[in-house]
Structure 1
């Protein structure tokens, strides 16, 4: 199973079964992390974490504070694709696999705008 990232007509394929998506909130400057799984049905959000709260970043009531992070397990349907915008107001989206994180611009090799994530279709 692979993850496909598409931006400005270019598609990058990453051979991953799971990854963490990380970003910094543009106003609060607080990190947010989401753990995703690549499944035959689509992209599955497994867990979310936020380092604090404020300005639209309030953790849900079921979140628990563990090691300085509010953690919870979102109940969402598996998604066929996820679009990631790049406002330029905060740092870039970072995609982490096995503890190593890279910005989407680093993955593509040039500055990116909107990027779409989806499960790659096998030929």
Structure 2
């Protein structure tokens, strides 16, 4: 997590590494729902070995909720 606001404080046990909070939850979730708006900064997508980029550079937002899901093992991105 890079930056935070009210209700988005880093979780207990989070570590600040290279300017971003890193935390590994104890439970796994099938879906991560991100509420996006034209009135706030977009989320950033960061992957190992690549520069971070705005989520809107990867997928457009309609101002609603974007759902992220893990790909099945063996699948690759198009």
Residue of 101, 104, 115 corresponding to 2:66: 115
Query: 8 Å contact 1:64–1:72 — kept in the other structure?
Result: yes
Structure 2 residue ranges without an equivalent (≥5): none
1:101 and 2:52 matched: yes
Q: Which has the higher contact order (CA 8 A, sep 6+)?
A: 1
Report the structure, 1 or 2, having the larger strand content. 1
Distance 1:59 1:80 in 2: 21
TM-score (norm. length: structure 2): 0.56
- Corresponding pairs, count: 71
Q: Structure 1 length normalisation: TM-score?
A: 0.40
Aligned-residue RMSD, C-alpha: 3.5
Gaps of 5+ in 1: 1-21, 24-30, 33-53
